[in-house]
Amino acid sequence: MVKVLYEDNHLIAVFKPAGTLVQGDETGDKCLMDEVKEYLKEKYNKPGQVFLGLLHRLDRPVSGVVLFSKTSKGASRVSEQIRSHKVQKVYQALVEGKVKREKGTLINWLRKDEQKNRVTVFDEETKDSLYAELDYKVIKSNNNNSLLEINLKTGRPHQIRTQLAHIGHPIVGDVKYGASAPLADKSIALCAVSFTFETATGGEIKTATTEPPFKI
């Protein structure tokens, strides 16, 4: 059952559970795009193929808000907003350890190994690396964990996961990047909690939000 967070004539935002693919891959596992297409087909009694534009992705073990376009106009308008950094994506992450600085900005350079699907972090620009920046603030913490709010300034593969691991605070469950143990459902404690964008027509600012499936 698709959990719809926002919908208009051009766009639809839904909740992606951890473990679900946004888009189909070689595994053949059911993906969020297929589920949303089925939802639209049934809701509007549409024959044949349903148009659904992929605007951005979340990693498979991550949960949260995913925005799709229902029309080509919606696709082009929001894609342009993403390219020009006019959308705002906010995440929450539960990390290992107590983060001492209440807020900060992390700036690194990231290089992805496509074959291994793994990202390496550098403190200075190196060959084939991409600039990565995020802001964070501590919402709550104890001796074992910290709950962070993260505002992405750049959208790089595995960016939040690797930058937090790089400062010694891997995301809970993210054994790929140094977490001490996996979570039972193979998810990681990272959730895209809000996505703010401008509607395709009318120029209204809308925010689709969700609560993270983890807490401290």
Domains of the chain with bracketed CATH: 4-86+197-209 (3.30.2350.10), 91-177 (3.30.2350.10)
Nearest to 105 by CA among 147, 140, 138, 134: 134
Which band of pLDDT confidence, cut at 50, 70 and 90, is reported for residue 205?
Answer: very high
Give the pLDDT score at 25. Answer: 84
Give the pLDDT score at 27. Answer: 81
Percent of the chain with pLDDT over 70: 100
Distance CA 55, CA 163 (A): 23
Give the pLDDT score at 192. Answer: 98
Give the pLDDT score at 30. Answer: 87
Distance CA 154, CA 177 (A): 19
> Is 76's pLDDT higher than 90?
yes
Distance CA 11, CA 9 (A): 6
59 an active-site residue? Answer: yes
Distance CA 27, CA 78 (A): 29
Residues 8, 25, 29, 59: which is the catalytic one? 59
State pLDDT tens for residues 108-141: 999 999 999 999 999 999 999 999 999 999 999 9
Report pTM. Answer: 0.94
Give the pLDDT score at 31. Answer: 95
Q: Give the mean model confidence (pLDDT) for residues 174-185.
A: 96
158: tokens are: 């595995």
Give the pLDDT score at 26. Answer: 79
202: tokens are: 């009318």
